[in-house]
Amino acid sequence: MSDVFVPMDNAAALRVGLTSTPKYLPVWYRYDKAGSVFNDRCLSDNTYYYFYRSEISTLSANIEEILQDVSEVPTLVDMGSGNSEKTRGFIDALLTKYKSVTYIPVDISKEFLAETSDQLFGIYGNKLCIKSIPGDYDVGIERLRDMPGVKVIMWLGGGFQNQKYQDQIRRLKLLSNVMTDRCRLIISLDITQNKEQIENAYLDPTGISADLYLNAITRLNREFGCSINKDTLNLEAEYIHNDNHKETSFVTLYGISKENQLHHIPGLGITLNLAKDDRLYFHEGKGVSCKYNVDQIRTLALCAGLYLENHWTDTNQHVAVCYFSTQKTK
């Protein structure tokens, strides 16, 4: 199989997903403005979602050490920036050392990105030079290519692990190509391996996370002229454990159709045929929300020509904040 990546527009990607076996809606499609708001609600209101609290505590306890070998003012790049809440810790730390910082948030949720950038301008004014990149991660990485100087690239909040494994490697390779030996890449990864905890986090009993996944259907109905009833799907989340170094553990997330249903989707020019008990997945590939052990993280990095220089974890061992470089420095 060729590993040449051909980018698709939204409609083409949805057509592929909804006509393949099994059928799926890509993860990124859940993130329009409403999806980003649901994402924020998951962080604040889903008490089962351990990742958020563990990541915040790991970052805040170690931020000085994480930034300690950044010896000149960097450009801060934020992949899948969302509400930029966690990045603000980095911005604040850098602004204690430098007069101003350039911040490049990259996010597919364009309206939400514009609102967040306005809020950040309101907080930091001219001390933060914000150069937003609305669009896909690949668009953002391509724009970094001609950017000189030291870059600290962050991928926080679980956005990295939501990609299929092949895309994780592909995008890490692209990033390593735009990094010099003085650039650093910081990614928060989920290292939890407890099935019950994970399944509760991704399909919490209060139903908050379901709103986020099902936003992909609301958006499909609105943008492409169909009327799929979300209540005809029973949502399931299943944790699949994997010790193999060349893969990771992951969550698979799908809706099981309660009935036979046929939906013409005029905007895509296709008919979605879901028989009773058929699954509609809410991610590309085998799974979403990958879970890693440290060997798996090292292997992933090496596949892309990167080194895991250091990592920090929380007391509950839920999150590893990982620090990568293009050349081994220790």
Ligand X SMILES: C[S@@+](CC[C@H](N)C(=O)[O-])C[C@H]1O[C@@H](n2cnc3c(N)ncnc32)[C@H](O)[C@@H]1O
Chain positions contacting ligand X, by CB under 6 A = 28, 31, 36, 39, 80-82, 86, 106-109, 136-137, 156-159
Q: Which residues are bridge partners to 273 per DSSP?
A: 262
The least distance separating ligand X from the CB of residue 204, rounded to whole angstroms, comes to 15
- Pick between residue 39 and residue 62 the one whose CB is nearest to ligand X: 39
The least distance separating ligand X from the CB of residue 157, rounded to whole angstroms, comes to 2
Q: Which long-range contacts (CB under 8 A, 24 or more apart) does 6-14 make?
A: 7/136, 7/138, 11/224, 11/267, 11/268, 14/220, 14/224, 14/268
Give the residue carrying structure tokens 């003085």.
Answer: 182
Q: If we measure between CA atoms, which residue out of 211, 31, 171 comes closest to residue 108?
A: 31
Q: Which residues are bridge partners to 322 per DSSP?
A: 187, 311
- Pick between residue 137 and residue 323 the one whose CB is nearest to ligand X: 137
- Pick between residue 94 and residue 319 the one whose CB is nearest to ligand X: 319
Angle separating helix axes 50-66 and 195-202, nearest 10 degrees: 100
- Pick between residue 111 and residue 259 the one whose CB is nearest to ligand X: 111
The least distance separating ligand X from the CB of residue 12, rounded to whole angstroms, comes to 15
- Pick between residue 31 and residue 292 the one whose CB is nearest to ligand X: 31
The least distance separating ligand X from the CB of residue 154, rounded to whole angstroms, comes to 8
Pairing of strands 249-257, 288-291: antiparallel
Which residue has the closest beta carbon to ligand X? Answer: 157
Radius of gyration of the chain (CA): 20
- Distance between CA atoms of 292 and 251, rounded to whole angstroms? 12
The least distance separating ligand X from the CB of residue 330, rounded to whole angstroms, comes to 27
- Pick between residue 90 and residue 124 the one whose CB is nearest to ligand X: 90
- Distance between CA atoms of 218 and 37, rounded to whole angstroms? 14
